[in-house]
A and B are shown apart, each in its own frame.
Chain A
Amino acid sequence: MDTLTGVEHLAEPDGFRAFVEARSSALLRSGWLLTGDWTSAEDLVQTALAAAWPRWSSLRRQDAPELYVRKIMVNTFLRWRQRRWTGEIATGRLPETQAYDVFAQVDARQSLLAALDRLPARQRAVVVLRYFADQTESQTAAAMGCSVGAVKSHAARALARLRDAPGLAELMTGGVAS
């Protein structure tokens, strides 16, 4: 009954495994900051790495595989949010989620995610790229496909919103270490 329609072989590019092993942790952490959970973060990183695989040689020649992977991650994240985004997320119920966890470290993470949830998707992406992935404004602009001015604007607005986020101010002034 079953009809074989194709057999193909995809060779693993040189240096791809070393990159995945070396950078997967950092990429997953960025994914976690973008999406707020590890399952989606893994999905995001796998999608980006799969997209990078076929053009790996070219990316290596340009010495830019990580920039490309991060670009795919951000674009994929923005597309996901385009589908899911329905306006500002109410944050009123988020603090209740801490009821069963007595560990300050977990509280800090939840405060951070709750703060990031206040941001529109593009502002969140700028925060992650600029302040976590330590990319320059021009690299961030290239990853997001916008101007440097737009990056500065998103960053300024994000910082303004985060100033009012409950719990984040304490973290920024010397809260719980991980």
Chain B
Amino acid sequence: MNTEERQLADVLHRTTPEPPRQVTVEQVAYRLVSEPRLRREPRPRRGGLVLSRAWAPILAAAAVVVIAGASAGIAVLATSHHHSTPPAVGAPTSSSLSSAPASSPSQPPSSTEPGTPATRIAGGPWGAELINRYAFNQDSLVSSNGSLYADGNGFLNRIDPATGSIVATAQYNPPLPNPPVIVGNTVWVVWSYGGGNVYLHGYDARTLTLTESVLVPSIGPVGASASNVLTSGPDGHLYVAAGLTVVVVDPATGNLIKRIYLTEGPATSVAVSPDGSTLYVGTSVGAGPFELVVKNLATGTVVNVSRLQTDSGGDLVATSGGVWGTTGVGMSEWTWFAPSGDLTRAVRIGQGAGAGFASVPSYSGGVVWVGGSHTLTCANPADGQILDTATLPTDHSVVEYFGSPALVGSRAYSFYQDDASQVSGLVRMTPPAACFGNVSS
């Protein structure tokens, strides 16, 4: 190598970051069983692996794949329909925790992990008290029918808000940030998101027993750097960002009832307005800018397309007044509100997050909530008006993080982390009346 080549090699080694997470054998096994062509072909052939429209019917017929990963082997069950109730054998349910793969979390919660005696957090907002010391994933917390749901450390968890106890679990490693979506008595999560297809799993909302599995074939590869790719509409349907389409799924039957095609690029985030009239889709291509596409769901027409002058964006949440989302990555992330989905009129909400945390909006109890590492904010879903803001404490100059809350009754619950004292868990707060004043969803 000459000097220039050595300098380039040095830059590549010096500048390339460490990956945020490792690839696991279980992930590889899943790819292997869900994509049999990887086993058949002696080597990839030109053009042979890329999924195209021609793959859609094949994938739709390919159906459910349930894996029980174990260090000794992988069991595969395939059915002829894309929607089914998978057999209990090998299914990653709460009953299968004892046969978890060797590389699964070393300290999984039991199905009845007790909460923590409520402990006030010094300087915490809205009377924050820690009720659970389990490390959930940031901004995965949602509430439904008096329960809280969150994922973390390889499990989907149902949490009793009264005690902070984990009362049911199911083995689950989220492939991307996407809070669980509850429709009726089923908790839906994105089980697999990569390449040319998307797998959704549905769990019984009380026991977290796996009850449904749906394959959503993508048109074109699914979007990179995606988040919030699964949501539900007021019609009770699931909306899934799947490559160059958004697929509408009837969760009652598992049928793919509609494809909404995009021309702007692969969908990386999706949200549906509370009245079901409008679809918001975030798209980005490579290092290109983040685009927000607004579609009329009744006519399928594009109502508006606008851009952020940044290549990162997503985590869309729709309300009556427009759509909320994020921009920035990792060390500097904040939330915006775009009235009617027009980014040219977007306003910043809250102070965002730093130190590697995320600031992701949530919509719970008719109020929009924005957490972070600087402020905790509640806002009016109709016009983005900030209703109240609490300043978040620091611990010896190290930021403390409060995730965007989910509401149960009049209490707000959020993920909490204090890096200085290495404490994380679930906090319970009592938001001020101002957060609920004159709010219409």
Structural contact, A46 and B18, CB atoms closer than 8 A: no
B41 sits at the interface (CB 8 A): yes
Dominant SS at the A interface?
helix
A39 sits at the interface (CB 8 A): yes
Stretch of B134-142, B178-186, B218-226 lying at the A interface: B218-226
- Report if A39-B33 is in contact (Cβ < 8 Å); known contacts: A99-B310, A131-B8, A173-B7: no
Structural contact, A127 and B287, CB atoms closer than 8 A: no
User: How many Å from the CB of A6 to the closest CB on chain B?
Assistant: 5
User: How many Å from the CB of B16 to the closest CB on chain A?
Assistant: 5
Structural contact, B24 and A20, CB atoms closer than 8 A: yes
Q: How many chain-A residues does the 8 Å CB contact rule pick out? A: 84
A9 sits at the interface (CB 8 A): yes
Structural contact, A25 and B18, CB atoms closer than 8 A: yes
Determine which of B14, B46, B80, B225 lies in contact with A37 in the assembled complex, contact meaning CB atoms within 8 Å.
Answer: B225
Stretch of B68-76, B159-167, B380-388 lying at the A interface: B68-76
Determine which of B19, B27, B73, B226 lies in contact with A29 in the assembled complex, contact meaning CB atoms within 8 Å.
Answer: B19
Bound: A16/B27 CA distance, A: 13
Bound: A99/B33 CA distance, A: 43
B146 sits at the interface (CB 8 A): no
- Report if A2-B224 is in contact (Cβ < 8 Å); known contacts: A25-B19, A38-B19, A132-B16: no
User: How many Å from the CB of A148 to the closest CB on chain B?
Assistant: 15
Structural contact, B46 and A32, CB atoms closer than 8 A: no
Find chain A residues with CB under 8 A from B176 CB.
Answer: 39
Structural contact, A132 and B31, CB atoms closer than 8 A: no
Structural contact, A7 and B11, CB atoms closer than 8 A: no
Find chain A residues with CB under 8 A from B47 CB.
Answer: 79, 82
Find chain B residues with CB under 8 A from A39 CB.
Answer: 176, 194, 224-226
- Report if A10-B73 is in contact (Cβ < 8 Å); known contacts: A159-B8, A162-B8: yes
Bound: A162/B75 CA distance, A: 48
Dominant SS at the B interface?
loop
B404 sits at the interface (CB 8 A): no
A178 sits at the interface (CB 8 A): yes
Name, among B15, B22, B73, the residue most crowded by chain A CB atoms within 10 Å (CB to CB). Answer: B15
Structural contact, A29 and B287, CB atoms closer than 8 A: no
A21 sits at the interface (CB 8 A): yes
Structural contact, B309 and A20, CB atoms closer than 8 A: no
User: How many Å from the CB of A123 to the closest CB on chain B?
Assistant: 12
**15 further A-B pairs in the complex, CB-CB below 8 A; given A106-B331, A131-B5:** A2-B79, A5-B79, A50-B32, A53-B28, A53-B39, A93-B289, A96-B289, A102-B332, A112-B11, A112-B12, A113-B287, A159-B4, A168-B11, A171-B11, A178-B14
List residues of chain A with CB under 8 Å of any chain B CB: 1-12, 16-17, 20-21, 24-25, 27-29, 32-33, 35-43, 45-47, 49-51, 53-55, 71-72, 75-76, 79-80, 82-84, 89, 93-94, 96-97, 99-103, 106, 108-109, 112-114, 117, 127-128, 130-132, 134, 155, 159, 162, 168, 171-173, 175-178
A-B contact pairs, 15 of them (CB 8 A): A2-B85, A3-B81, A5-B80, A9-B74, A39-B176, A42-B19, A42-B194, A53-B32, A97-B287, A100-B327, A103-B332, A130-B5, A131-B8, A159-B8, A168-B11
